[in-house]
Amino acid sequence: ARRVRTHHLREMKQRGERITMLTAYDQYSAQTFDEAGIDVLLIGDSASNNVLGNETSLPVTVDELLPLTRAVARSARRAMVLGDLPFGSYQGSPQQAYDTAVRFMKEGGAHAVKLEGGAEMAPQIELLTRGGVPVMAHIGFTPQSEHTLGGYRVQGRGDTAARVLADARAVEAAGAFAVVMEMVPGDVAAEVTRALGIPTIGIGAGPGCDGQVLVWQDALGLRTGRMPRFVKQYADLHGVMLDAARAYAADVRGGTFPGPEHTF
Give the range of 7-15, 39-47, 161-169, 185-193 binding ligand KIV by CB under 6 A.
Answer: 39-47
Q: Among ligand KIV, Na ion, none, what binds residue 134 when CB lies within 5 to 8 Å by partner kind?
A: none
Site string for ligand KIV, 205-224 (x = CB under 6 A): --------x-x---------
Output b/e per residue, 223-257; b: 16+ Cβ within 10 A: beeeeeeebebeeebbeeeeeeeeeeeeeeeeeee
Query: Are the CB atoms for 59 and 20 separated by under 8 Å?
Result: no
β-partners of residue 20 are: 212
> Which residue has the closest beta carbon to ligand KIV?
44
Site for ligand KIV in 107-126 (CB under 6 A): none
Q: What is the DSSP letter of 230?
A: T
- Of 29-37, 38-46, 98-106, 164-172: span binding ligand KIV (CB under 6 A): 38-46
Tell me the three-class secondary structure of 92-137, residue by residue: CCHHHHHHHHHHHHHCCCCCEEEEEECHHHHHHHHHHHHCCCCEEE
Q: Which of 24, 82, 161, 203 binds ligand KIV (CB under 6 A)?
A: 203
**Measured from the CB of residue 243, what is the shortest distance to ligand KIV in angstroms?**
27
Q: Flag whether 45 is marked binding.
A: yes
Binding mask 56-95 for ligand KIV (x = CB under 6 A): ----------------------------x-----------
34 makes contact, choosing from Na ion, ligand KIV, none, with CB < 5 to 8 Å by partner type, with: none
By C-beta, is 151 or 255 nearer to Na ion? Answer: 151
> Which residue lies nearer to ligand KIV by CB, 84 or 191?
84
Partner from ligand KIV, Na ion, none binding residue 41, C-beta < 5-8 Å depending on class: none
Q: Which of 247, 251, 211, 215 is nearest to 230 (CA)?
A: 215
Cα–Cα distance, 40 to 80 (Å, whole number): 5
The answer to whether residue 120 is catalytic is no
93-125 per-residue burial string, b: 16 or more CB within 10 A, e: under 16 = ebeebbebbbbbbeebbbbbbbbbbbbebbebb
Residue choice 180, 181, 189, 198 for contact with ligand KIV (CB under 6 A)? 180
Among 55, 126, 146, 182, the active-site one is: 182
Q: Say if residue 46 carries a ligand binding annotation.
A: yes
The conformation of residue 36, written as its DSSP 8-state character, comes to T
| Strand (E) or helix (H) holding 173 | helix 161-174
Query: Which element (helix H / strand E) includes 212?
Result: strand 211-214
CB of 139 to ligand KIV, least distance (A): 11
Residues 6+ away with beta carbon under 8 Å from 44:
23, 25, 50, 57, 84, 215
Q: Which residues are annotated as a binding site for 3-methyl-2-oxobutanoate?
A: 45-46, 84, 114
Task: Cite the active site residues.
Answer: 182
Q: Which residues are annotated as a binding site for Mg(2+)?
A: 45, 84, 116
Q: Which residues bind ligand KIV (CB under 6 A)?
A: 23, 42, 44-46, 84, 180, 203, 213, 215
